[in-house]
Structure 1
Amino acid sequence: MKKILFITGDFTEDYETMVPFQMLQMVGYDVHAVCPDKNKGDSIKTAIHDFEGDQTYTEKPGHNFVLNYTFSDVEVKDYDGLVIAGGRAPEYLRLNSSLLDMVKHFFTEDKPVAAICHGIQILTAADVVRGKKLTAYPAVGPEVTLAGGEFQDIPADKAYVDGNLVTSPAWPGHPAFIKAFLDLMGVKISI
């Protein structure tokens, strides 16, 4: 069974954690949801981000999400792909050097990586977007450019693929985002 490393943390976006985590399990992956400095069985708090006509998203309390693996037990070489949730968690998770080293491994080994919304902040901090085309929540676009990436301004319900990397601006892009990641992982779904 293929393994996916799933990075999330306190005040991650609710949908951007719950939906990909469950969908990847649905297709048969062993998905290890982890957060630095937390253990299997610990909970993280999520936040619901919505688009209600304001200049930016609104934020409301989400669900508690129980981590199913301990961050310090991760052996990065054992994973076939990486998914990074968005929300506010990436702004502090990107300060963890062990996490950044894990992310770099997936790019060095050319393994599939999916990041959504503010999850791209972890990629910019890991210095892995240089020369790549990718998208993010629009407010993260300047970080992408400063980190040497080429920001793609696409609708929130789309995804962008460049090599082993799939990105999307926000949770409305889940269908395209998850399909693109599954394509990179070699999954074929027919109906």
Structure 2
Amino acid sequence: MEVVGVQHRYGKRLVLRGIDLRLPAGALTGVVGENGAGKSTLLKVLAGELRPTRGTVRHRGAFGYCPQQVVVNDALTVRQHLAFFQAAFRLDGLRHAWEIMDVLGFAEYADERAGVLSGGTRQKLNVTLALMHDPQVLLLDEPYQGFDWDTYLRFWELASRLRERGRSVLVVSHLAYDTERLDELWRLDGGRLRSQTVEAA
């Protein structure tokens, strides 16, 4: 994905002031910033949910978008969600979805309704639905919110596997945890991206 000169405004308020960003294949990139800095707006523009006021976003292949707000139906089971998204993505099977569920550790909840799941487990389903079609570009907004420590580590294991398979992974968060796991780190501040140093593990 390549982002050039992206601006976005809400009325008279300019939130993004000229974003330039490149997400190469096989790279794990982080964007951090304070609450209200425009991180979710940036992701919505990258995902095509919002049209930028100015600038361009180009990407090759499919992308997966995991919004901060969990997008599940409380009346449906986990398995029913998978079937619904399988039809939407026109997938032949669900092997990749089950692999993600196994890594995140919630395959045993397949027949539970989303409405009875804990917040962390709902977020696991949210991540699975965004990644189950094996996209080339992954846009993840606060993807590990509600995760316990074990699941948090499982998430980074999943992110590393995706990077090893040549996927472009963008993780957006308000806190810069575990920056040594990233190939590149940016801070969104004042509507602009500023490069941050990534410390080696």
Give the TM-score normalised by the residue count of structure 2: 0.31
Q: RCO (CA 8 Å, sep 6+): is it higher in 1 or 2?
A: 2
